[in-house]
Amino acid sequence: MLKTYHFSRIIVFAIIFILTIGIYMNAQTVHPAWMKDSQLKLEKELIAKYGESQSARLQKGLKQVADFWQGEDGGAAVFENFIRTHFAGSQTTLDAMFKRFEYLLEKLNGHMNEIGLAFREQSDLDQGTIYPFDETFAAFSPGAHITDDFFKNKLAFIVLLNFPLTTLDERLTNGGQWSRRQWAEVRLAQRFSKRIPAEVNQAVAEAAAITDQYIAEYNIYMHHLIDAKGSRLFPPKMRLLSHWNLRDELKADYSDKGNGIAKQRMIQQVMDRIVTQTIPEIVINNPYVDWNPFTNEVKPAAVKDFDAFPKSKNEINNSPEPDTRYATLLKAFHAVKKVDPYSPTAPTLIARQFDENREIPEERVKAILESVLNSPLVPQIAKLIEERLGRPLEPYDIWYNGFRAKGKYSEAQLDEIVKKKYPTPDAYKADMPNMLMKLGFSKERAAYIAGNILVDPARGSGHAAGAGMRSAKAHLRTRIGKDGMDYKGFNIAVHEMGHNVEQTLSLNDIDHYFLNGVPNTAFTEAIAFVFQAHDLDLLGISTPDPQSDALKTLNDFWMTYEIAGVSLVDMEIWHWMYDHPGATPSELKSTMLKIAKNIWNTYFTPVFKKKDVVLLAIYSHIIHSFLYIPDYAIGHLISHQIGAQVKKSGNIGAEVERIVKAGCIAPDLWMKNATGLPVGSETLLDATKRALKEFKK
């Protein structure tokens, strides 16, 4: 769901992240001896000067500055002089300070975003050779040192002295009563809630690179998988990356009426070997051996289908991968744990992911996921899948993909329609106001929004790059072939246009710059999916079909059920690592297997009738995405809530305009404003009930 590449979001989030990092003296760190005296002295002095009404603000600000102040920042005289100079003791000064930071940080973020876009242009756009120097430009991060600079010149301390840091609990408990300005102040302060030393950032970046590389080179050469009869079920030259490609092939095999089941069982067996680390090390990323994943027998390859470098192994044997999967996850854990002392408002990765990035407390996320996993709809849908398959479920059917409607038009017909309509990026751009009006935007608003979106030819499949400041424009990057846009390209372009519309409205029409955007990526994805679902309407060839809506909902439910299970595995393993920081890879492995089996046995065995399956632990994200998986599950639910709301309103344009104006406040508050309910599973569960009824008709 969230796989589409959104360059601007990444840049904006990267800048926000960079702005929020920098060296924090945690609670255990002893402040310099003079600090306490200086604080008390200044408190008295400044309350006498500005009045008792400033007392609470002053105390909080003094503590926030003291918490982050280090030896290199100066001694008592420097500290005291800084506080006297920069404490905004009157509303007039505070207003001026807030406005100036808002204005100037917009300029900073916006221009950094423009530099980043320009530096990546040659790599991102379909405009000729990428030279090695283009890659160096693309990898450069112009904002990388801003937080360090802001602590050095003390702008970060000015923010910490005058605006409050908050915990998630405070934001959720009090946020509903805050004014828009208060929310904007909170978002400003959050940018400086961490001061992480460069060497710690470096360690995290290195761990991320190591885990990425481990995953990126984990290919299985499918033609070299041998069954009991010595047959090769998969075609030559099929190289599949774990786990995405393996899973996608498994899904594709549902349409193979001959060998489909045998292929799916074999892929499941390969996944099992990876998770349990009984996979022979020599078969990973190696087309020079043949492997029977059931007996685990390995032999020199009897056929050649790839020109790869042979693995430098002296002898061919089936000695297992030595728990590298879990050693890699431990490397990630040890690196991110180093950030903990410098992140006082969220002192673990678990807290940073739930409290800061998602802003939904972990217990609530867990309860929401369990409400899907425990839903009485699960056995009903499982039964329906068994009927459609004509056999009992097998564990890999967590990836069942048969809830799909047959379109009225063939792909070739659609290609022809789209190619004629959009031969060039300019043709798409020229038609945007018209498309937006079909989605319900007024003529004036459609022209305004389209005027803020540029259309560029993408090298890859397409992405949406938003602006970072109001004077800049969003970019819709889309793939257009020599003979025009094909249907797939159009479908993606409409999705990206949804992002661009959200980006434009939530930046240009927002009341406070610090509130621009949406609470997290799931929200912008949901809006993009609403647009994407109307692509045929935009071509003027859609006919309403309740059956296809029902199928889509059942598919969403089943995907959410599956990824909710994986999310719980991801959450439990991070807790265990935090509880056992000295664990060995082998201990981590046995715990992972235990957790995956427990979750399977609790939520999946009742319908799959098989125990102790470890498939939920195959996700590559568990190894390299640092507790990101729950976002996919929550993303499905958010998508349904927003989709249902927009549908109910009857006017996509007007409703999208209304809901995105809330900006990046806490997700639950945003969702209450949009739909009347906090983030949750009710909308998906209700829609699934209706879909089942529709289906049984």
Which residues make up the interface to Zn ion (CB under 5 A)?
4, 528
Q: Least distance from C-beta 593 to Zn ion, angstroms?
A: 34
Which 3 state secondary structure label does DSSP give 292?
strand
Residues 6+ apart with CB under 8 A from 384: 554, 692, 695
Q: Which is nearer to Zn ion, 369 or 476 (CB)?
A: 476
Q: Which is nearer to Zn ion, 4 or 245 (CB)?
A: 4
Helices vs. strands in the chain: H and E counts, helices first: 31, 7
CA distances from 454 to 366, 394, 467 (A): 41, 48, 11
Q: Which is nearer to Zn ion, 4 or 141 (CB)?
A: 4
Q: Which is nearer to Zn ion, 270 or 465 (CB)?
A: 465
* Of 471, 492, 470, nearest in space to 480 by CA: 492
Q: Which is nearer to Zn ion, 449 or 492 (CB)?
A: 492
CA distances from 442 to 147, 436, 475, 661 (A): 42, 8, 22, 17
End-to-end CA distance of the chain: 30
* 120/459 Cα distance (integer angstroms): 11
Contact 659, 644 (CB under 8 A): no
Q: Least distance from C-beta 91 to Zn ion, angstroms?
A: 42
Q: Least distance from C-beta 532 to Zn ion, angstroms?
A: 8
Which residues face 280 on adjacent strands? Answer: 320
Helix axes 682-696, 377-389, angle to 10 degrees: 40
Q: Least distance from C-beta 487 to Zn ion, angstroms?
A: 18
Q: Which is nearer to Zn ion, 62 or 528 (CB)?
A: 528
Contact 83, 65 (CB under 8 A): yes
Q: Least distance from C-beta 465 to Zn ion, angstroms?
A: 12
Residue nearest to Zn ion (CB): 4
Q: Which is nearer to Zn ion, 240 or 528 (CB)?
A: 528
Given the structure tokens 């434009």, which residue do they identify? 504
Q: Which is nearer to Zn ion, 292 or 491 (CB)?
A: 491
* 248/235 Cα distance (integer angstroms): 15
Q: Least distance from C-beta 241 to Zn ion, angstroms?
A: 21
* 318/291 Cα distance (integer angstroms): 9
Q: Least distance from C-beta 138 to Zn ion, angstroms?
A: 21
* Of 429, 446, 428, nearest in space to 437 by CA: 446
Q: Which is nearer to Zn ion, 328 or 532 (CB)?
A: 532
Residues 6+ apart with CB under 8 A from 244: 620
The one-character DSSP state at 613 is -
- In SS3 terms, 47-72 reads as HHHHCHHHHHHHHHHHHHHHHHCCHH
Q: Which is nearer to Zn ion, 362 or 525 (CB)?
A: 525
As given in the structure block, the two tokens for residue 163 are 């605006």
Q: Which is nearer to Zn ion, 464 or 671 (CB)?
A: 464
As given in the structure block, the two tokens for residue 110 are 């916006």
Q: Least distance from C-beta 5 to Zn ion, angstroms?
A: 8
Q: Least distance from C-beta 270 to Zn ion, angstroms?
A: 30
Contact 188, 159 (CB under 8 A): yes
In order, the DSSP letters of 447-482 are HHHHHTEEEEEBSSSEEEE--SSTTS-EEEEE--BT
Q: Least distance from C-beta 73 to Zn ion, angstroms?
A: 42
Which 3 state secondary structure label does DSSP give 532?
helix
Q: Which is nearer to Zn ion, 271 or 538 (CB)?
A: 538
Q: Least distance from C-beta 4 to Zn ion, angstroms?
A: 3
Which 3 state secondary structure label does DSSP give 121?
helix
* Length, in residues, of the chain: 697
* 498/286 Cα distance (integer angstroms): 42
Q: Which is nearer to Zn ion, 289 or 474 (CB)?
A: 474
Q: Which is nearer to Zn ion, 497 or 627 (CB)?
A: 497
Which residues in 174-324 belong to E strands, given as ranges? 219-221, 239-241, 289-292, 297-300
Q: Which is nearer to Zn ion, 502 or 668 (CB)?
A: 502
CA distances from 650 to 416, 530, 640, 688 (A): 30, 12, 16, 21
Which residues face 225 on adjacent strands? Answer: 291
How many C-beta neighbours within 10 Å does residue 459 have? Answer: 16
* 629/363 Cα distance (integer angstroms): 15
